[in-house]
């Protein structure tokens, strides 16, 4: 088995754990994400891990050439539009190029933030600081105001960082990454 395959299988197990923890927390609060008007698929998230890039690319490679072409065309248009918005100091608000009719075309391969977004969360940083973040607007519409027990993202972030570090060491890859999903779909990094 290659280093890449080992890393992607480890990431699949980590994502299963994230999905389970997210689901348990969402059920405990009575929250269900249905694609609200503030849809997080409109949010310009940046992704920083090589392993998530490779995982998303693996999912893309399993699609037909026609589906891949359509997705890449959409991603290219969105990158161009986002760049034009940024040049005019306007924050771009574009639907993710993988979203079709309120569904993710690569749902099983979606990155970590797509799996954990929406519910209140907490993180214990390596420096010991404890940070809490709110849920999305739809969470509060469904679950009401007040204090809600957060999802602890710390174990997931720690496991992701360890997995990323191992993969980068094995690949000898030192470049920093900061990509949107559209950019990830267009980039063709040769790692191994």
- Walk along the chain (192 residues) in steps of 10 and give the mean pLDDT of each run: 94 98 94 76 85 96 95 92 74 81 91 93 93 91 87 96 96 94 91 80
Number of domains in the chain: 1
Per the structure, the complete domain to which residue 116 belongs is given by 3-186
At residue 95, the pLDDT reads 83
- The three-point CA angle 118-121-124 to 5° equals 150
Question: Is 191 domain-assigned?
Answer: no
Question: Is 96 domain-assigned?
Answer: yes
User: How far apart (Å, rounded) are the C-alpha atoms in residues 19 and 192?
Assistant: 29
Question: Is 192 domain-assigned?
Answer: no
**Contact between 52 and 111 (Cβ < 8 Å):** yes
Q: Where are the alpha helices (DSSP H) in the chain?
A: 3-29, 50-61, 65-87, 112-116, 137-143, 154-171, 181-186
At residue 92, the pLDDT reads 66
- The predicted model scores a pTM of 0.90
How far lies 103's CA from each of 59, 66, 157, 167, 184, in Å? 15, 18, 26, 30, 19
Question: Is 76 domain-assigned?
Answer: yes
Please give the backbone phi and psi of residue 43, each rounded to the nearest 5 degrees, phi first.
-80, 140
Question: Is 128 domain-assigned?
Answer: yes
How far lies 111's CA from each of 19, 104, 145, 175, in Å? 11, 11, 28, 19
């Amino acid at each position: 088995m290659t280093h890449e395959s080992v890393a992607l299988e480890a990431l699949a197990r980590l994502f299963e754990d994230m999905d389970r923890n997210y689901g348990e927390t969402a059920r405990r609060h009575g929250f269900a994400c249905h694609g609200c008007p503030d849809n997080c698929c409109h949010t310009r998230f940046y992704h920083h891990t090589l392993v998530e890039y490779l995982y998303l690319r693996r999912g893309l490679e399993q699609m037909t050439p026609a589906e891949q072409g359509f997705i890449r065309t959409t991603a290219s248009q969105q990158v161009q539009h986002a760049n034009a918005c940024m040049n005019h100091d306007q924050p771009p608000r574009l639907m993710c190029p993988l979203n079709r009719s309120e569904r993710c075309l690569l749902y099983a391969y979606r990155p970590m933030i797509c799996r954990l977004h929406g519910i209140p969360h907490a993180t214990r940083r390596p420096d010991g600081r404890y940070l809490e973040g709110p849920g999305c607007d739809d969470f509060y519409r469904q679950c009401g105001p007040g204090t809600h027990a957060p999802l602890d993202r710390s174990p997931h972030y720690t496991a992701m960082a360890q997995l990323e570090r191992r993969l980068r060491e094995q690949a000898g890859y030192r470049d920093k990454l900061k990509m949107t999903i559209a950019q990830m779909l267009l980039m063709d990094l040769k790692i191994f």
